[in-house]
Amino acid sequence: MSDQPIVTKSPYPMLPVPEALAIVLRETAVLPPVEISLADCGGHVLAADVVAKEPLPPFAASVKDGYAVVAADGPGDYAVAGEVRAGTMADFRVTPGTVAYITTGAPMPEGADAVVMIEETEPLSSGPQPRVRIGRAVKAGDDVRPVGVDIAAGQVLLGAGEEIGAAEVGLLATAGMAQVSVYGRPRVAVLATGDELAEPGELLRPGQIRDSNRWMLLEAVRETGAVPVDMGAARDRLVELSDRLQAAMDDCDVLVTSGGVSMGDMDLIKPLLEGKGTIHIGRLFMKPGKPLMFATAQSGGATKLLFGLPGNPVSSLVTFNLLVVPALRKMMGYAHPELARVQVTLAQTVSLDPERPEYHRAVLTWDGRLNGGAGGYLAASTGRQVSSRLLSMRSANALLELPAGEGEMAQGTTVSALLLGGRGNV
């Protein structure tokens, strides 16, 4: 037997989640901007303002199919001087006493100052000199989009820090942006640890369980928009774990491990990382997920983020959402990387933990009857909340922030909740 004393008490204080999150975000840097094509920019965050180079529309344009007219002429029968279709410019001028046929989006011909929609007109003749009856009076500017009415030249269309969705892609295309400056996406290595782990397709040997955490966390990384890198499952062997950790640090920006961060003699992640970097967080004051580790280390001239998540699946996914998701969002340029917080009403009575604050899994739905008819979120618990029961995360879209305390919180009580989801608001 070794003469070394057995350590049974952690040297790391239990930090409240808000304090731990502040540390994580303090140690997290935004990734450098990269230039990517318009076709690939969806889901990224803009690294620079996008400014309109020209007005939209760049010419006065018709809002409808109809006839371009001189508004002062009023109703009556007129000669058709020509026609203008979208994508072409008129090679004639509309003079008083004449009109021009025009299609939606076509440039207004010189001399015309309004459009009468086709439903208010009646063709009188065709041929070399067609004529048309204008059936109603219009004012100058009716059904005409002036130059720059939608977008002015020099206008900021999108600001740095905005997430790019479908509408934003449309604005980028409108601005002529074939290449877009965005923040990069971090590469996130996911490594499971434990001699007991078997792959989902393998037969279980006595004492084994299937490796669910790794697959769960790979998908959780993907949902944030980051790039997941599967590092497999490592046995509880110092050399093997050390080699896997170093390979992940060399190849990726972030390492997420599952298991091996508690106080047992085979919990090797913390001892290994103590030799590779700086441990900033060793435990959390929360339930589920107390045994969590966060460290930074240098590799290849860059600072790498290292998260040692608990082995219990619920603890692993809850702490991933609370700390890893905000870190990844900050790296990708989100202006507000934290999970969004809302006020909710409990749909049933829930028990409190007497020792630690709890992040209780729940399903939020909108109920228009709450708050005197103004509406609000109703929070239904996902059931038994033990940290090994992954079913408690199924369908959960929020974590209720329950304080430590004796007894219960009654149905109808208002509490705060953190919204779960991939990318969230910027």
Which amino acid type is present at position 362? A
Q: Looking at residue 8, what is its pLDDT? A: 54
In sequence order, the 6+-apart residues with CB closer than 8 A to the CB of 6 are: none
**Rounded to 5°, angle at Cα 194 from 190 and 195:** 140
**Quick check: pTM over 0.75?**
yes
Q: Looking at residue 241, what is its pLDDT? A: 82
Between helix 238-251 and helix 269-276 the angle, nearest 10°, is: 50
Ordered by where they begin, the domains of the chain are: 14-31+186-331 (3.40.980.10), 34-55+160-183 (3.90.105.10), 61-145 (2.170.190.11), 341-419 (2.40.340.10)
Q: Looking at residue 219, what is its pLDDT? A: 94
Distance CA(234)–CA(322), nearest Å, equals 25
Using H for helix, E for strand and C for coil, what is the string for 249-282? HHHCCEEEEECCCCCCCCCCHHHHHHHHCEEEEC
Indicate the Cα dihedral angle 271, 276, 277, 282, nearest 10°. Answer: -20
Per-residue pLDDT of the chain (426 residues; tens, 9 = 90+): 344 444 456 788 999 999 999 999 999 999 999 999 999 999 999 999 999 999 999 999 999 999 999 999 999 999 999 999 999 999 999 999 999 999 999 999 999 999 999 999 999 987 788 999 999 999 999 999 999 999 999 999 999 999 999 999 999 999 999 999 999 999 999 998 876 666 777 777 777 777 788 889 999 999 999 999 998 877 777 777 888 888 889 999 999 988 755 544 456 777 777 777 899 999 999 999 888 999 999 998 999 999 999 888 889 999 999 999 999 999 999 989 999 999 999 999 999 999 999 999 999 999 999 998 999 999 999 877 666 566 777 789 999 999 999 999 999 999 999 999 854 433
Distance CA(148)–CA(60), nearest Å, equals 8
Q: Looking at residue 4, what is its pLDDT? A: 42
Which amino acid type is present at position 66? G
Q: Looking at residue 321, what is its pLDDT? A: 96
Other residues' Cβ atoms within 10 Å of the Cβ of residue 297: 19
